[in-house]
Amino acid sequence: MTLTDTPPARVPTAVGKPILEARGVTMRFGGLTAVKDVDMTVNEGEIVGLIGPNGAGKTTFFNCLTGLYKPTEGQVTLSGDVLPPKPRAVVVAGMARTFQNIRLFANMTALENVMVGRYCRTSSMALTSILRGPKFRREEEATRARAQELLDFVGLGGSTESLARNMPYGDQRRLEIARALATDPKLILLDEPTAGMNPQETKQASDLIFRIRDSGLAVVVIEHDMRFIFNLCDRVLCLVRGEVLVEGTPGEVQSDPRVIEAYIGGGDDDDEDEGPATTKETL
């Protein structure tokens, strides 16, 4: 599928009220503006894609949303509440994420990795945990049961006791998603969830994201695989040099000449006879 191919017709997703609203988000590092005045709204039950060339500011924008960076300007709200620039507070509020580079606890089992994500929803205090009192034991049992449910949900039910470092790459990606889901989010942000995957693993990732959406969560996805994005998302935003170039349906975005130029470049007249379609096919 090239950038200018028309994606298959999709049944419109029934979306609800806005759950995430970013307004005027700007992130500067000294004299460099990595993200400039970006607005984004994500509605309940919606899958939104975030695309753009390398260095467009996509992951920086994710970091602003999730509290890893404090935006230089702008505001982020979740369900109407302003999010503080603190990752734990953002997770507790109901937003979870995965990372471009896998960040698992390599020497923990799959089950233990997911249980770690669940602990933000437990309330046992330090003394109760040390003494392993009744409340701690109840919460630990519930956490273990929920972690197993999520492993089953993402298709890793048979890998409960496998060490994360020994799992195949695609399974590690799914394990990260299971750990994010363990936080009971309203919205999940996925940073390049199919990076390094083969076509079969990519199809499994697509199916999993649809199941997550169908379970009631909203999803935002950064991805360089255009076929994946345009077949998956209800709306797509294209960032270029830290700014929103265009926003719309997959069909509108991939046919916009500004998006094509951003990915391919304008080129010189001397290059046109060499067939720019060849370059498009690499997308």
pLDDT in tens, 163-201: 999 999 999 999 999 999 999 999 999 999 998 888 999
Q: What is the 3-state secondary structure (H, E, C) of 81-97?
A: EECCCCHHHHHHHCEEE
pLDDT digits over 129-170, tens only?
A: 565 666 667 788 999 999 999 999 999 999 999 999 999 999
Q: What is the CATH number of the domain that holds 247?
A: 3.40.50.300
pTM: 0.83
Number of domains the chain contains:
2
Answer whether residue 212 is part of any domain: yes
175 with 258, same domain: the answer is: no
239 with 111, same domain: the answer is: no
Domain end marker among 159, 184, 209:
184
17 with 80, same domain: the answer is: yes
198 with 268, same domain: the answer is: yes
pLDDT digits over 242-261, tens only?
A: 999 999 999 999 889 998 88
Which domain does 83 fall in, by range? 1-94+185-283
4 with 78, same domain: the answer is: yes
53 with 131, same domain: the answer is: no
pLDDT digits over 9-31, tens only?
A: 454 455 679 999 999 999 999 99
Q: How many residues in the chain?
A: 283
90 with 40, same domain: the answer is: yes
120 with 177, same domain: the answer is: yes
Mean predicted confidence (pLDDT) in 72-86:
94
Residue 224 has a pLDDT of 87
Domain end marker among 184, 215, 230:
184
Residue 230 has a pLDDT of 93
133 with 211, same domain: the answer is: no
Chain centre to alpha carbon of residue 133 = 37
pLDDT tier at 124, thresholds 50, 70, 90: low
Answer whether residue 234 is part of any domain: yes
DSSP conformation letters of the chain: --TTSPPPP-PPP---SEEEEEEEEEEEETTEEEEEEEEEEEETT-EEEEE-STTSSHHHHHHHHTTSS--SEEEEEETTEEPPS-HHHHHHHTEEE--SS----TTSBHHHHHHHHHGGG----HHHHHHT-HHHHHHHHHHHHHHHHHHHHTT-GGGTTSBGGGS-HHHHHHHHHHHHHTT--SEEEEESTTTT--HHHHHHHHHHHHHHHHTT-EEEEE-S-HHHHHHH-SEEEEEETTEEEEEE-HHHHHT-HHHHHHHH----HHHHTT-HHHHHHT-
Answer whether residue 99 is part of any domain: no
Answer whether residue 109 is part of any domain: yes
Domain end marker among 184, 201, 221:
184
pLDDT digits over 84-101, tens only?
A: 989 999 999 999 999 988
